[in-house]
């Protein structure tokens, strides 16, 4: 059993989360999913994950999948591709040019998936965070065509990754490599990946104890935030030279 939270009620301690399913902590009305509630959740290592029509479900798994930016693993072929994109003129990398479009692309049906957890209420809440300069996207473009991207939440000096998509081979890897280079330049050491996947593990992500994760979150969300305006409106391809 998990507690039912009235909208805005304090979250229970994450140590109360279930072991099966791993990390399920609480439920609340769908209307509870707002930008303010998301900020409250992320600051204590909690994130939402549920399907449209369900109550809002809140999670804090143990262990937690993270990617330390200095451990990002790019294969020989990916490094070669990153150098081509860094020096070339065909593809363009940008930040926050089309945040909502990235979310909607991430929500599109994928092979083997039944539905999506990125529904309209979720899109509205994260777009509201983007308007507050707290949620951000990295995008790969060819001209005016959006090829790939990712989005997440950045509080202080902590980046919480949410989802990525690609419409061409290795597109999401290029976007992630760009984010890694940007965060490394800004002194952000870790990306929250939430839950373990083989794809993320192949790129250098690994699991750490929830207590270790929460200690880092508590320290980093209090720090001065990135000035994302430095990166917005400019081509980010040169960041890939850092790899």
What pLDDT sits at residue 195? 85
Residue 167 in domain: yes
CATH of residue 22's domain is 3.30.70.3550
* Residue 222: CATH number of its domain: 3.40.630.70
Supply the pTM of this predicted model. Answer: 0.95
Question: Domain check: are 56 and 72 in the same one?
Answer: no
In a domain, 4, yes or no: no
20 and 116 share one domain? no
What is the tally of structural domains in the chain?
Answer: 2
- Strands 24-28 and 64-68, sheet pairing: unpaired
Mark whether 46 and 98 lie in a shared domain.
no
Residues 51 and 75 grouped into a single domain = no
Q: pLDDT value at position 111?
A: 61
Both 43 and 103 in one domain: the answer is: no
In a domain, 6, yes or no: no
* 190 falls within a domain: yes
The gap from C-alpha 125 to its chain's centroid, in whole angstroms, comes to 14
Residues 41 and 96 in one domain: no
Shared-domain flag, residues 100 and 76: yes
30 and 116 both lie in a single domain: no
Flag whether 8 is in a domain. no
Do 107 and 160 lie in a common domain? Answer: yes
d(CA 239, CA 243): 8
Q: Quick check: 164 and 108 in contact, CB under 8 A?
A: no
Residues 21 and 84 reside in one and the same domain: no
Residue 163 sits in the same domain as residue 200? yes
Clarify whether residues 107 and 81 are in a common domain: yes
Each residue's pLDDT expressed in tens, for the chain with a length of 243 residues: 899 999 999 999 999 999 999 999 999 999 999 999 999 999 999 999 998 889 999 999 999 999 999 999 999 999 999 999 999 999 999 999 999 999 999 999 766 555 577 999 999 999 999 999 999 999 999 999 999 999 999 999 999 999 999 999 999 999 999 999 999 999 999 999 998 899 999 999 999 999 999 999 999 999 999 999 999 999 999 999 977
Boundaries of domain holding 97: 65-242
């Amino acid at each position: 059993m998990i507690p039912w939270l009235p909208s805005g009620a304090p979250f229970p301690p994450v140590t109360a989360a279930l072991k099966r399913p791993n990390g399920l902590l609480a439920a609340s009305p769908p209307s509870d999913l707002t930008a303010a509630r998301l900020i409250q959740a992320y600051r204590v290592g909690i994130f939402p994950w549920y399907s449209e029509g369900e109550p809002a479900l809140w999670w804090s798994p143990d262990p937690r999948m993270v990617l330390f930016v200095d451990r990002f693993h790019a294969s020989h072929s990916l490094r070669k591709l990153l150098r081509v994109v860094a020096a070339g003129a065909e593809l363009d990398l940008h930040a926050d040019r089309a945040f909502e479009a990235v979310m909607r692309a991430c929500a599109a049906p994928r092979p083997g998936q039944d539905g999506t957890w990125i529904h309209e209420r979720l899109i509205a809440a994260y777009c509201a965070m983007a308007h507050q300069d707290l949620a951000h996207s990295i995008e790969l473009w060819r001209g005016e065509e959006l090829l790939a991207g990712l989005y997440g939440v950045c509080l202080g000096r902590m980046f919480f990754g949410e989802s990525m998509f690609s419409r061409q081979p290795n597109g999401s890897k290029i976007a992630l490599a760009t984010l890694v280079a940007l965060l490394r330049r800004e002194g952000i050491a870790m990306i929250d990946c939430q839950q373990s996947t083989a794809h993320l593990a192949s790129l250098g992500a690994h699991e750490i104890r929830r207590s270790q994760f929460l200690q880092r979150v508590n320290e980093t969300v209090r720090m001065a935030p990135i000035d994302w305006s430095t990166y917005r409106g400019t081509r980010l391809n040169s960041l890939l030279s850092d790899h």
